[in-house]
Amino acid sequence: MSKIKRIGVFTSGGDSPGMNAAVRAVVRAGIFNNLEVYGIKHGYSGMIRGEIKELKSSHVSGIIQRGGTILKSARSQEFRTEEGRKFAYDQLKLHGIDAVVAIGGDGTFTGARQFSEEYNIPIVGLPGTIDNDLYGTDFTIGYDTCLNTVVEAIDKIKDTASAHDRLFFIEVMGRDAGFIALNAGIACGAEAVFIPEVQSHTEQLKNYLEEGFRRKKASNIIIVAEGDDAGGAYAIANQVKEDFKEYDTRVTILGHIQRGGTPSAFDRVLASRLGVAAVEALLDDQKSVMVGLVNNQIVHVPFSKTIKQHNPVDVALIKLIDVLNV
């Protein structure tokens, strides 16, 4: 029998749609299993400051459809220090918390792993990031909603691009991973996609644009992940616009609208499944693992693996974009 009687839950790092659904699932799964559940506000910073309060079932009523996170999120430099982690541990013990569910990305899990090793406190992670780049899960909480937000925005831009024969460079999030850019490019019929995993070739893009102009294409949409090696949408646009004065070249940075909004049904179900699985993992004496979904099955992945390894993008999909643009 597990000795765990009281658990904490927090969200950390960049917010993602579906985090509230995950918090709701953790709280209700905890109560279902006769545990007390405490919410920790503002991530590790709030843990250090003791921003910890018990959550009842009623506290998470009506949040499954809300974006953002009711527990707030923050990044903490203080938690990176031994002194900061000692303060955090003291606050958990003061509130009688035996184990923790951490919702976030690799930075969150890096801190959780070190904290768990130092103080032998069980921590289970939930993958909450729009980037979908965490090793050990097919999907991260928030990615599906983000992708649909991006597709909707690009569809609208494409309408005005075709009305004015404009060449649009659209920058999406993805500092280290191109999942958003690549899949949005396929879904929106983009002419080209630039992602961090593939070296950029602006000359190849220029050749394509020349061919497109000869075919009298009404619009051209180029999607650029912010971490692309060519330097982002503005940098690439500046490299090509002098050669294509026939196009009215524009740049759009989608920015933080990608993080917000009502979570999709997929993200709500994913967050709910993973949240319940996290509580069950703690009761099964698991620690320092991320709960993920692979082939629609719940899996437990050690923090050491999900931190050190990278979820690879299928670069063969770049070829798919080329095929579909003939």
In this prediction, what percent of the chain has a pLDDT beyond 90?
Answer: 69
Write the CB contacts of 214 (distance below 8 Å, at least 6 apart in sequence).
Answer: none
Return the pLDDT at 213.
Answer: 54
Identify whether residues 255 and 267 lie together within a single domain.
no
Note whether 20 and 135 are same-domain residues.
yes
Identify the domain boundary among 220, 237, 259. 259
210 pLDDT band (50/70/90 cuts)? low
pLDDT value of residue 219: 61
Residue 35 and residue 178 in one domain: no
Asked if residue 322 is part of any domain, the answer here is: no
Pair 138, 150 in one domain: no
State the catalytic residue, choosing from 15, 98, 106, 131.
131
> What domain range includes position 105?
6-142+263-308
Cα–Cα dist 63/59, whole Å:
9
Residue 163 confidence (pLDDT):
75
In-domain check, residue 315: no
Confidence of residue 229 (pLDDT cuts 50, 70, 90): confident
Indicate whether 84 and 196 sit together in one domain: no
Write the single-letter amino acid at 216.
K
Of 223, 239, 259, the domain-final residue: 259
Residue 317 resides in a domain: no
pLDDT for 211 beyond 70: no
**Are 71 and 197 contained in the same domain?**
no
Q: Is the per-residue pLDDT at 56 higher than 60?
A: yes
Q: Which of 198, 227, 259 is the C-terminal boundary of a domain?
A: 259
Total domain count, the chain: 2
pLDDT at 93 over 70: yes
CATH number at residue 212: 3.40.50.460
Let me know if residue 318 belongs to a domain.
no
**Residue 253 within a domain:** yes
pLDDT number for residue 242 = 76
Prediction pTM value: 0.92
pLDDT at residue 127 greater than cutoff 60: yes
Check residue 2 and give its pLDDT: 66
Q: Does the annotation count 90 as an active-site position?
A: no
- pLDDT at position 322: 78
pLDDT band at residue 72, thresholds of 50, 70 and 90?
very high
Q: Which pLDDT belongs to residue 216?
A: 55
State the chain's mean pLDDT as an integer.
91
The answer to whether 250 touches 238, Cβ cutoff 8 Å, is no
Asked if residue 126 and residue 110 are part of one domain, the reply reads: yes
Instruction: Check whether residue 56 and residue 126 sit in a common domain.
Output: yes
Indicate the helix (H) or strand (E) that contains 253. strand 248-253
- Residues 277, 135 within the same domain: yes
**230-264 burial code (b ≥16 CB/10 A, e <16):** eebbebbbebbbeebeebebbbbbbeeebbebebb
Burial of 213 (0-12, 13-18, 19+ CB in 10 A): middle
CATH code of the domain containing 280: 3.40.50.450
Q: Quote the percentage of the chain above a pLDDT of 70.
A: 94
CA-CA distance, 293 to 139, in Å (whole number)? 7
pLDDT band at 264 (very low <50, low <70, confident <90, very high): very high
pLDDT digits (tens, 9 = 90+) for 162-191: 777 778 999 999 988 999 999 999 999 988
In a domain, 155, yes or no: yes
